[in-house]
């Protein structure tokens, strides 16, 4: 049986999780969802009595929450496209000190590669950044059915290798996130006004458990729960018409992601279904300007109060010139 979410939050139902543990459970992966973290302390307790490894999947949030409390045995970071520190590829496995010795031996079998910030890398990064800044362009891309931009599907894992990362690139990425957090806090004040209109902002920056002590955590995208799927869908259309790259993120619970369906046992996860049906995510990167935030507040507010709904007819694919 899949383990469901708690109602209206991207967090595992701990009772269901406990019941799902069996003799063949080797690890629990606690996923930080756009800055909204799991209760790592509670899951660590479930793991401790049973010798289960706890992995903190912090691909969507930097720094990882478990770097404060050391609840997880391992944390993983992604440096891929669209992640907090974007080096267009690679990642990091953070290992708790008590596992260092075993891991040093275990990792040596994987070949070592170098990630050079060479010309190809610079060009890819320049294109990506140009897309971020040019909302019209991104809006068109987003509506293009050929590119499957943003669609998630399971890909078979490539062979594992170790990557020699450029330390300065990682550190400068982390530095940018600190500055972004300051900008986001200003925007959040505006976005929170929507909570009076049935929109719920899920990932207020710095809501990630213990990590909130730092006070300057950024979020990868702003995530709202709409009052209904219909209003969510209308919001995605209306915002994309204005060049604001809104989306429904994964669009469905993990058990229904293409490629995953056949790997998991069937069973209901109604809270996760409901969450996926109402989730709306918005860009939160440094290219977002205050007039974009004002537009978001206007569009989402009007969808509830019924004023000038977006032109739905234009939402079904790109216009053919």
Q: Tell me the DSSP string of 290-313.
A: HHHHHHHHHHHHHHHHTSS---GG
Site for ligand PLP in 20-49 (CB under 6 A): 31
Binding mask 54-93 for ligand PLP (x = CB under 6 A): ---x-xx-----------------x-x--x-------x--
Q: Under a CB-based contact definition with an 8 Å cutoff, are residues 185 and 205 in contact?
A: yes
* Nearer Cβ to ligand PLP (38/57): 57
* Nearer Cβ to ligand PLP (64/310): 64
Least distance from ligand PLP to the Cβ atom of residue 282, Å: 17
What SS3 state is found at 156?
Answer: coil
Least distance from ligand PLP to the Cβ atom of residue 60, Å: 5
Give the sign of the dihedral formed by CA 126, CA 249, CA 313, CA 296: negative
Q: Under a CB-based contact definition with an 8 Å cutoff, are residues 153 and 102 in contact?
A: no
Distance CA 128, CA 141 (A): 12
* Nearer Cβ to ligand PLP (91/298): 91
Least distance from ligand PLP to the Cβ atom of residue 320, Å: 33
Binding mask 195-234 for ligand PLP (x = CB under 6 A): ----------------------------------------
What SS3 state is found at 114?
Answer: strand
Least distance from ligand PLP to the Cβ atom of residue 33, Å: 7
* Nearer Cβ to ligand PLP (80/301): 80
Least distance from ligand PLP to the Cβ atom of residue 153, Å: 12
CB atoms within 10 A of CB 318: 14
* Nearer Cβ to ligand PLP (80/150): 80
* Nearer Cβ to ligand PLP (57/142): 57
- Sequence-distant (≥ 6) Cβ neighbours of residue 29 within 8 angstroms: 55, 57
* Nearer Cβ to ligand PLP (85/300): 85
What does the block give as tokens for 304? 């509830």
Q: Under a CB-based contact definition with an 8 Å cutoff, are residues 65 and 37 in contact?
A: yes
Determine the size of the site formed for ligand PLP (CB under 6 A). Answer: 8
What does the block give as tokens for 235? 């919001």
What does the block give as tokens for 62? 């930097």
Residues of the shown chain interacting with ligand PLP in the complex, contacts defined by CB under 6 A: 31, 57, 59-60, 78, 80, 83, 91
């Amino acid at each position: 049986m899949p383990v469901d979410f708690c109602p209206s939050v991207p967090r595992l139902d701990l009772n269901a999780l406990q019941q799902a543990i069996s003799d063949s459970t080797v690890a629990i992966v606690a996923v930080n969802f756009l800055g909204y973290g799991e209760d790592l302390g509670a899951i660590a307790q479930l793991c401790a009595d049973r010798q289960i490894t706890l992995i903190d999947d912090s691909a969507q949030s930097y720094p990882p929450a478990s770097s404060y409390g050391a609840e997880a045995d391992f944390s993983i970071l992604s440096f891929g496209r669209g992640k907090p520190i974007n080096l267009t590829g690679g990642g990091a496995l953070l290992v708790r000190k008590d596992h260092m010795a075993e891991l040093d031996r275990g990792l040596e079998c994987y070949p070592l590669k170098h990630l050079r910030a060479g010309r190809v890398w610079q060009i890819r990064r320049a294109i990506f950044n140009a897309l971020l800044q040019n909302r019209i362009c991104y809006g068109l891309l987003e509506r293009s059915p050929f590119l499957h931009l943003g669609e998630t599907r399971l890909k078979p894992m490539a062979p594992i290798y170790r990557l020699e990362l450029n330390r300065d690139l990682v550190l400068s990425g982390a530095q940018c996130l600190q500055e972004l957090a300051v900008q986001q806090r200003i925007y959040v004040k505006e976005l929170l006004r929507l909570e009076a209109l049935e929109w719920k902002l899920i990932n207020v920056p710095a809501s990630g458990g213990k990590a909130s002590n730092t006070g300057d955590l950024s979020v990868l995208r702003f995530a709202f729960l709409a009052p209904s799927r219909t209003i969510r869908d209308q919001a995605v259309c209306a915002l994309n018409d204005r060049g604001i790259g809104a989306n429904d993120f994964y669009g469905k619970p993990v058990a229904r992601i293409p490629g995953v369906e056949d790997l998991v046992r069937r069973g209901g996860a109604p809270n996760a279904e409901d969450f996926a049906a109402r989730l709306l995510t918005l860009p939160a990167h440094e290219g977002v300007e205050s007039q974009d935030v004002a537009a978001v507040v206007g569009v989402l507010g009007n969808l509830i109060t019924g004023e000038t709904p977006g032109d739905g007819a234009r939402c079904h694919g790109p216009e053919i010139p």
